[in-house]
Amino acid sequence: MATKLDGHDRDEGLTKLKASGWTHDADRDAVSKSFSFKNFVDAFGFMTRAAIHAEKMNHHPEWSNVYKTVDVTLTTHDVDGLSELDLELAKKFDELA
């Protein structure tokens, strides 16, 4: 089960995400990042690799794609905000991009 992040873990997690280009939406307690690629094939290739990891984690992004751009938002519906799963998936997205 996911647990809502708080205290030091939350501060540290958010600081790391912001340092790698994620922005925090306080209203939704979600993080977002826009990834840009060379073309559609590269953008969708990234989505395909990320989709497999998301499914393995059973934690899925909200995301959109327009040609070579992929916009990703992560939050955990079960806890109505950010959980450890979001930090883990965000890190994976950064690695794959």
Q: Which residues pair with 39 in a beta bridge?
A: none
Residue 57 touching its own copies (CB under 8 A): no
Q: Per-residue x/- mask for its own copies, residues 15 to 54, rule CB under 8 A?
A: -------------------------xx--x--xx--x--x
Of 3 and 39, nearer to its own copies (C-beta) is: 39
| Beta carbon nearer to its own copies, 23 or 39 | 39
Beta-carbon neighbour count of residue 56 at 10 Å? 9
**E strands in the chain:** 23-25, 30-36, 62-66, 69-74
Say how far apart CA 54 and CA 68 lie, in whole Å: 20
CB 45 to its own copies: min, Å = 9
- Closest approach of Cβ 89 to its own copies, in Å? 13
Contacts with its own copies by CB under 8 A lie at: 40-41, 44, 47-48, 51, 54-55, 60-67
